[in-house]
Amino acid sequence: MKITNPKFGGFYNICITLILFCALFLFCSKKIETIVVVYDTPPSTLDPHLRNEILTTSILCNIYEPLVDFDANMKMIPALADYWERIDSLNWRFYLRNGVKFHNNKKLSPKDVVYSLYRPFNLPESRFQSLRDYLDTIIIEDTNTLLLKLKKSHAFLVYDLSGIAIIPEGFDPSNQSPCGTGPYEFVKMDKEHLELKKFKPYWNNNQYFEQVKFIFIPEVEKRIEMLKKGKADIITYIPLKELERLKKAGMVIATPGVATRYLEMNLNKFPFNRVEFRRAVNLGLNREHLVKDVYKGYATPANQYISQGLFGYDYSLPPFLYNPDSARRLIKILGTLPEIEFDYAEVRANIAEAIIEDLRNIGLKIKPNPLPVEEYWQKINNRKSDFYLIGSVPTTGEGISTLRSYFHTKEQKKGLGLLNNTGYSNRTVDTLIEKMIANGDLRHCVRLAYEVQRILIDDLPRIPVVWEKEIYGVSTNLIWTPRLDEKILIKEIRRLE
C-alpha cells in the first residue's frame, strides 16, 4: 500500500521513508549490554543437583534458584519462598512467591518444589542429600503453600534448602538444556564458552546485562591479556605471583576471605593414617610466612575448621603453633618414610611450593606433582590422590554443614559425610554432629560445635592452612562487590554509565 498526500505527493513519501529508516536504525543500533566472565575451566556439570564446588555453583546460580538464599554478606533472604515459618520442631511451612516462571514459561508450583527436593536422593553422586536423614514428607496444602514434616528436629533446615535448586517437575538436567527460574536462561555451551541471556519474565526484573558470556581459558596469561584489551569484564583464579601484572590490566578486587585452603590425605594409608604424621605436618607449616610472603596479605592463618565470621566459629581457640623442631621429633617416631607425592593444581603452585619447602624442612621427602586444573580435579574426584592441596568455600552462613559434610563418617543414604574423602571416622564425632543437627537450641548447637572442633584439632583429619581471599581482575568500568561465598551473581553487577 502506497502512502500519498495530495498536497505534497512524492516528497511526503520520501520524508516518511526517512523517518522510518532512522527509527529502524536507532532500534537496531541500540547497544546490547554484555558481560564477559573468564574462568580457567568449565563447570563440572550443568546439573544443579550433583556437585557443589564453587566454580559450578558460581555459574549455575545465575540459572537456578532455591527456596531460600543468601545475600552477598551471607544473610538469609527469601528467594522462591516469599515467606516461611517454623510451626514446631518437626513442621515448617513455606509460601511460594507468586508470578514466578521457569525458563520454559511453566509457572512455578508446589509440585516442582517436591520434585526438586526429592530428586537428589536418587542421584548416587549428589552432594545435596543432606535432607535425606530427617525429611519425612512434604505436603502440598494449596496452590502456593507446602508443609515440610521432619522425622526429627533440625534447626538448620533452611540452610540446607538454600543449596537445592528448584527445577520443573519431571525435568532431567542430565540430558536436557538447563531450565530454572533464575535471572538468566541458557543459550548454548561448548568446551570454551557458555552463553546466557536475560530472562525477561524474571520475577525480580533487576537484571542490568542483556547477555552473559562465560569463557574458559586455562592459561592465566591469556586471561589477563583479555582483561587488559577490554575483552573481559571479570577474570578469575589468578595466581598471586601474577598480582603486579593484574594491577596493570585492570582493578584488583578480593573477597573478604572465608575460603579455607587445606592439606587433605588418604587416612587409610601409611603414613597419613598416623596422627603423629599429621601433627608433625601441622607443626611444620609456617602459616605466618605463607600469609605475608606468599599471599601478600590476601589470607589469614587458619586455626580451625569453621571459617571466621560463620556460625560456630570458636573465638577462644589459639593459633596453631609453628614448631619445626617438635615436628622433626614426631617424624623420627615414624621411622623411615617413603617419598610422598603431593598433588596440586598448577594455578596454586606458589602456595604449594612454599608448603613443600616447609615439609622438606621437617625431614619429609616430597615429590611435587603440579597438574592442570582439569586433570587435578579428575584425580581428586576419582580418589586417585593420597596427599593434596585443596580449597573449600562455605555456601551458607553457618559452619555446621562443614562439620557434617567433611567429618562425619560417610553415610550416603543419610546425607552425612558427603564430602568426607579422607576416610575419617570417629564415633564420638559422629554422635556429637548428629546431636548438633537434630538440636533446636542454637546455643546448644554452638557448644557441640566447639566440642567437635577440639576433637578434630587433636585428630587433624584435614589440616587447615589459611583462610584465603579470592582475587579477581575486574574492568575499571564495572561496579561489583564480591560475595563472601565467591559466587558471581550477574544480577548484582552494574556497569558505569
Residue 236 belongs to domain with CATH number: 3.40.190.10
Give strand pairing partners of 494: 479
443 CB contacts (<8 Å, ≥6 apart)? Answer: none
Tell whether 198 and 280 lie within a shared domain.
no
In whole angstroms, give the CA distance from residue 431 to residue 428.
5
Number of domains the chain is built from? 3
What global pTM score does this model have?
A: 0.78
Please give the DSSP secondary-structure letter assigned to residue 241: G
Strand 462-468 versus strand 259-265 pairing type? antiparallel
pLDDT, residue 397, reads 67
In whole angstroms, give the CA distance from residue 227 to residue 240.
16
| Closest C-alpha to 209, from 480, 470, 481 | 480
Cα-based distances in Å from 35 to 90, 145, 191, 294:
44, 37, 19, 31
pLDDT, residue 24, reads 45
In whole angstroms, give the CA distance from residue 342 to residue 75.
37
In whole angstroms, give the CA distance from residue 25 to residue 21.
6
Residue with cell 587416612: 267
For residues 91 and 147, is the Cβ–Cβ distance under 8 A?
yes
Domain harbouring 75, CATH code: 3.90.76.10
Tell whether 357 and 386 lie within a shared domain.
yes
pLDDT, residue 29, reads 42
pLDDT, residue 10, reads 57
Please give the DSSP secondary-structure letter assigned to residue 319: P
pLDDT, residue 8, reads 44
Tell whether 266 and 150 lie within a shared domain.
no
Answer whether residue 463 is part of any domain.
yes
Answer whether residue 449 is part of any domain.
yes
| Closest C-alpha to 217, from 234, 202, 196, 200 | 234
pLDDT, residue 32, reads 78
pLDDT, residue 31, reads 65
pLDDT, residue 177, reads 95
pLDDT, residue 9, reads 52
- Looking at 105, 129, 161, which one is the last position of a domain? 161
Domain range for 131 is 64-161
Tell whether 82 and 225 lie within a shared domain.
no
Answer whether residue 31 is part of any domain.
no
In whole angstroms, give the CA distance from residue 201 to residue 142.
24
Tens place of pLDDT per residue across the chain (497 aa): 433 444 445 555 554 545 545 444 444 444 679 999 999 999 999 999 998 888 999 999 999 999 999 888 878 899 999 999 999 989 999 999 999 999 999 999 999 999 999 999 999 888 888 888 889 999 999 999 999 999 988 878 898 899 999 999 999 998 999 999 999 999 999 999 999 999 999 999 889 999 999 999 999 999 999 999 999 999 998 888 888 899 999 999 988 777 899 999 999 999 999 999 999 999 999 999 999 999 989 999 999 999 887 888 999 999 999 999 999 999 999 999 999 999 999 988 999 999 999 999 999 999 999 999 889 989 998 899 999 999 988 777 678 888 988 999 998 877 788 889 999 999 999 999 988 887 767 788 889 999 999 999 999 999 999 999 889 999 999 999 998 888 999 999 999 97
Tell whether 263 and 236 lie within a shared domain.
no
